Structure 1
Amino acid sequence: MGIRFIKISVVYFVIGVCMGMYMSMTEKFDLSPVHVHINLLGWVSMALAGLVYVAFPGAAETTLAKVHFWLHNIALPIMMIGLACLVSGVESAGPAVAVGGTLMVLGIILFAINILKNIKN
């Protein structure tokens, strides 16, 4: 599971960097919140979770790890597409941000429970 997290985190890293380059070239920074969240929740958080799971394979083999992976990867696109629409003026996109954000928080809580439960001295 750890390797899956690391590999998909690199995809989010490329997306985040390309967004940053696009904003820089066009000098339009309206999507900065999306850029930041993709880099933080996509690249950094997933890469770190992957490294934790590589270091502690017992935690990586749990159902909690699998559910965390899928919640994170379902929630992030929903939240980011919703946020992109919201900052672009589509006020009706608020529920997508809320649903994606809620799923993201649930995934991160499951990660925390997994770590606290399955990583021992």
Structure 2
Amino acid sequence: MHTTPSLAQTQPAFSTAGALWLKLAVLYLIVGVGLGIMMGASEDFTMRPVHAHINLLGWATMAVAGLVYSVFPQAAASKLAKAHFWLHNISLPVMAVSLAFVIGGQRGLIPVLAFSEIVAALGILVFAANIFLNLKK
């Protein structure tokens, strides 16, 4: 008797790296939505730049990276992907927290914020290099 393969047997699995990026993106989505709800409930929108950074760099950018790394496992397996992961995932929480404190008046943390922004930008450049070097026709 001949059986047809199941969908799980015919479709390639997501790369481990892609799945990790997507899971972390969802965590940032939860944090971003939670912060948005808190701002709305309190009618205090002072932290909207933090909300925006968490949603854009946390949810959107990380979800896109997760999808890219899932579709292109050769890019996910590169040293550039590992560098991208650590640069992004160390800088983003530091950036969000330091931005919140700076908005709250702790101007002494501006150098920490600036450094985390530079590290995040470097992570984005590493991601771009990875895409251009590892995605072939």
Interval of TM-score (by shorter of Structure 1 and Structure 2): over 0.9
Partner residue, 1:62: 78
- Tell me how far apart the structure 2 counterparts of residues 96 and 54 of structure 1 sit (CA, whole Å): 32
Partner residue, 1:75: 91
Partner residue, 1:100: 116
Give the number of the structure whose residues are more often helix, by fraction: 1
Q: Among the aligned pairs, what percent are the same residue? A: 48
Partner residue, 1:39: 55
Partner residue, 2:127: 111
Which ranges of structure 1 fall in alignment gaps of 5 or more residues?
A: none
Q: Scaled by the length of structure 1, what TM-score is found?
A: 0.98
Deviation at 1:99, TM superposition (A): 1.0
Report runs of 4+ in structure 1 exceeding 4 Å deviation: none
Deviation at 1:67, TM superposition (A): 1.0
Calculate the aligned-residue CA RMSD, in Å: 0.6
Which ranges of structure 2 fall in alignment gaps of 5 or more residues?
A: 1-16
* Greater C-alpha radius of gyration: 2
The residue identity in structure 2 corresponding to 1:6 is L
- Tell me how far apart the structure 2 counterparts of residues 56 and 64 of structure 1 sit (CA, whole Å): 13
Report Cα offsets for 1:38-89 as digits up to 9, x if no partner: 0000000000011011110100001110110111010001111110001111
- Tell me how far apart the structure 2 counterparts of residues 2 and 61 of structure 1 sit (CA, whole Å): 10
Deviation at 1:18, TM superposition (A): 0.2
Aligned residues: 121
Q: Scaled by the length of structure 2, what TM-score is found?
A: 0.87
Partner residue, 2:36: 20
- Tell me how far apart the structure 2 counterparts of residues 15 and 71 of structure 1 sit (CA, whole Å): 20
